[in-house]
Amino acid sequence: MGLAEERRTDPGERLWGDRVGRGVEELPTPALLLDLDVARANAALMGKRFRSLPASLRPHVKAHKCAELARMQLEHGAIGVTTATVAEAEAMASAGVGDVLIANEVVGTAIDRLTDVAASTRLTVAADDESTFEDLGRRASAAGVELGVLIEVDVGMGRGGARSVDEAMRLARVASEMRGIELRGLMGYEGHCASEPDTELRARETRAAMERLTEVAVRCGAEGLPAGVVSAGATGTYETTGSYPGVTEVQAGTYVLMDLFHEGLAPEFSFALTVATTAISRHGDLVVFDAGRKAIGNDLLPPRLAEGAGELAFIHEEHAGFRFPDGSPYRVGDRASLLPGYAPTTVNLFGAFHVVESGRVVDLWPVLARH
């Protein structure tokens, strides 16, 4: 039996079809819920913000991996999307998104998938190593596609990217002369600033990071190297990056879903994402719910009950235990909603969003490009 065939016999898959139209109380738990009104309001609010910022919005879809949410963000003024992986870029191109940035290095055999994507959408990819330019250029030429490149500059996070202005300039010069690729500009991700809770300090650190990035852009301009695109930013820093002189686009994406990690960083957005769960066991002040680390992205912050009460006692693989010192409002069988600590790793655990309006499932939106 082939994989596709065997997957179709996975009985879990068969259950999805009849969920549209049901009340959320009827769904098997744990279930990923998207409040459609809230997601739309978040998308609209960010669209409105960017109408008064000099930079454009290019939302990172790693947060939701969802064609419908990408389209919603595009309808509210986004100029294209950002992805972390080639698989996400494939999914977005396949969904008709016309402009995709892979904000990550792509090397080796994955380059062939890259050129396939570039055949159907305007594609740009980050790069930070001279040894990959020739490979990118040769294979883009062979495939007869146009492939844009942004030089990644390390703006202080210490992950990918050129470590100095000189290194970045050297890479930009090589890229600009490489046949088969088109140097389009620069990228820098200020991940080391994006979680700083103090608003003032976060803005100051973010400006320092953007100074490093735009310094390279200025040098490129002086040398006549193309640096029309300067891409950076996240939900926690979008106002600072989006208004920083020289930054042309901002990669904020999670704002459309929100989570506890982003709650204090961007309080103007509201929780659209929850995980529905059921109380399956209760002893003393402890209630055990049927959603654990296989249903909740627990990597940055633990989840919280949306209803407020209850202190997290533990989160295991398939269980979350909450204590209610003042008495539990939950009996065995009761439903609850969990607010994820981190949306991107939560969404990645589910095959689809249950899209909810007025307590009813109105649609199922697939989560694409999971491994």
As a residue count, the chain comes to 371
Return the number of the residue (3 or 222) whose C-beta is nearest a second copy: 3
Of 38-46, 156-164, 218-226, 304-312, the window that binds a second copy (rule: CB under 8 A) is: 156-164
Instruction: Select from 258, 219, 325 the least CA-distant residue to 43.
Output: 258
**Closest CB to a second copy among residues 11, 325:** 11
CB of 35 to a second copy, least distance (A): 18
* Euclidean distance between the first and the last CA atom of the chain, given in angstroms as a whole number: 21
Rounded Cα gap, residues 201 and 211, in angstroms:
15
Q: Which residues contact 275 (CB under 8 A, 6 or more apart)?
A: 30, 31, 32, 33, 291, 295, 296, 303, 337, 338, 340, 346
What is the C-alpha separation between 250 and 3, in angstroms, rounded? 39
- Sole binder of a second copy in the list 38, 43, 140, 154 (CB under 8 A): 154
Q: How far is the CB of 61 from a second copy (least distance, A)?
A: 12
* Binding residue for a second copy, selected from 21, 37, 98, 107, defined by CB under 8 A: 107
Query: Taking CB under 8 A as the rule, does residue 370 contact a second copy?
Result: yes
Using the minimum distance from each CB to a second copy, give the nearer residue, 55 or 74.
74
- Is 129 near a second copy (CB under 8 A)? yes
Q: Which of 77, 282, 301, 324 binds a second copy (CB under 8 A)?
A: 282
85 vs 176, which CB is nearer to a second copy? 85
Residue numbers 203-262 binding a second copy by CB under 8 A: none
Binding region for a second copy (CB under 8 A) out of 42-50, 72-80, 161-169, 252-260: 161-169
Site for a second copy in 71-100 (CB under 8 A): 84-87, 90-91, 93-94
Among candidate residues 141, 164, 89, the one with its CA nearest the CA of residue 120: 89
Interface mask toward a second copy for 288-317; x: CB under 8 A? x-x--xxx--xx--------------x-xx
Cβ distance 275 to 340 under 8 Å? yes
Locate tokens 């669209």: which residue?
47
How far apart are CB 240 and a second copy at their closest, in Å?
21
Q: Is 160 in the site for a second copy (CB under 8 A)?
A: yes
**Residue 178 — φ and ψ, nearest 5°?**
-80, 125
Span interacting with a second copy, options 42-50, 197-205, 265-273, 280-288, rule CB under 8 A: 280-288
Q: What's the min distance (Å) between Cβ of 224 and a second copy?
A: 27
Query: Would you call the peptide bond into 30 cis, given omega within 30 degrees of 0 as the criterion?
Result: yes
Q: Looking at the DSSP assignment, which residues form a beta bridge with residue 274?
A: 33
Our CB check for a second copy shows the closer of 57 and 89 to be 89
**Touching a second copy, residues 168-207 (CB under 8 A):** 191
Task: Tell which positions 3-32 bind a second copy, by CB under 8 A.
Answer: 3-4, 6-13, 15-17, 26-32
Residues between 328 and 347 that touch a second copy (CB under 8 A): 331-333, 335, 344-345
- Considering only residues 34 to 73 of the shown chain, the ones binding a second copy according to CB under 8 A are 62, 67
Q: Which of the 8 DSSP states describes residue 62? A: G
Q: What is the CA radius of gyration of the chain?
A: 22
Residue 359 engages a second copy in binding (rule: CB under 8 A): no
Q: How many CA within 13 A on the CB side of residue 234?
A: 22
Q: Where are the alpha helices (DSSP H) in the chain?
A: 3-9, 11-14, 36-51, 67-75, 86-94, 110-118, 130-143, 165-177, 199-223, 238-243, 260-263, 343-347
Binder of a second copy out of 40, 113, 204, 207 (CB under 8 A): 113
